């Protein structure tokens, strides 16, 4: 049985491990030396400041996966009535626990928390593998989203499917 709990600062190490696994396994990123330490420091700073919220899925007392969100403000509009959104980061379930309900349980808990806190919108970039799951939970595909990287030599703009776009010479 899958148990979901909100992660705390004491979970920074496991959140770091899950984030690194997601980046390496799912997005095929080669992480630089020292990246995990830098990431853990970022998590330890961001969580108390409210810049990062996270939930963990556990199966028989073992961590199976996580979902993290970055709360953000937005100018209010008809769509963003309160001006509050959550950007979903790092939805990840370890290989051994996939197809056992952990991802669905994480999304259900995330949705309940967002509704309870009256968040206007949940946003994310999806891998191809996760697309159908997100649609089942009510996410729709936007065709007008754009990003711009400010780093030289970056191949992808987002953490969606690796290599899913290319910079167009202009």
Q: How many CB atoms lie within 10 A of CB 17?
A: 16
Average per-residue pLDDT for the chain: 88
Q: For residues 90 and 140, give the distance between their C-alpha atoms in angstroms, rounded to a whole number.
A: 18
Over residues 111-123, the pLDDT tens digits come to 999 999 999 999 9
Over residues 49-107, the pLDDT tens digits come to 999 999 999 999 999 999 999 999 989 988 889 999 999 988 999 999 999 999 999 99
Provide the pLDDT for residue 150.
Answer: 67
**b/e for 115-141, b at 16 or more Cβ within 10 A?**
eeeebbebebbbbeebeeebeeeebee
Please indicate whether residue 156 or residue 135 has the higher confidence score (pLDDT).
135
According to DSSP H, which parts of the chain are helical? 12-21, 35-49, 102-116, 131-136
Provide the pLDDT for residue 24.
Answer: 95
Q: Which residue has the tokens 């969580």?
A: 47
Give the pTM: 0.86
Provide the pLDDT for residue 80.
Answer: 86
Provide the pLDDT for residue 147.
Answer: 66
* Segment (H or E) for 23: none
The domains located in the chain, with CATH, are: 2-136 (3.40.630.30)
Q: For residues 6 and 8, give the distance between their C-alpha atoms in angstroms, rounded to a whole number.
A: 7
Q: For residues 104 and 109, give the distance between their C-alpha atoms in angstroms, rounded to a whole number.
A: 9
């Amino acid at each position: 049985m899958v148990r979901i709990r909100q992660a705390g600062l004491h979970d920074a190490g496991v959140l770091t491990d899950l984030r690194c696994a997601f980046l390496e396994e799912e997005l095929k990123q080669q992480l630089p030396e020292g990246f995990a330490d830098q990431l853990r420091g970022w998590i330890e700073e961001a969580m108390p400041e409210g810049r990062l919220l996270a939930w963990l899925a556990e199966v028989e007392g073992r961590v199976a996966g996580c979902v993290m969100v970055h709360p953000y403000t937005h100018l209010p509009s008809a769509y963003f009535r309160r001006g509050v959104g959550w950007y979903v980061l790092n939805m990840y379930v370890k290989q051994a626990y996939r197809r056992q309900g952990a991802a669905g349980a994480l999304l259900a808990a995330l949705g309940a928390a967002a509704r309870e806190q009256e968040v206007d919108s949940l946003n994310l970039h999806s891998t191809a593998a996760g697309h159908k799951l997100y649609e089942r939970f009510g996410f729709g595909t936007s065709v007008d989203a754009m990003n711009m990287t400010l780093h030289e030599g970056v191949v992808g703009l987002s953490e969606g499917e690796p290599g899913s776009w290319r910079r167009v010479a202009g």
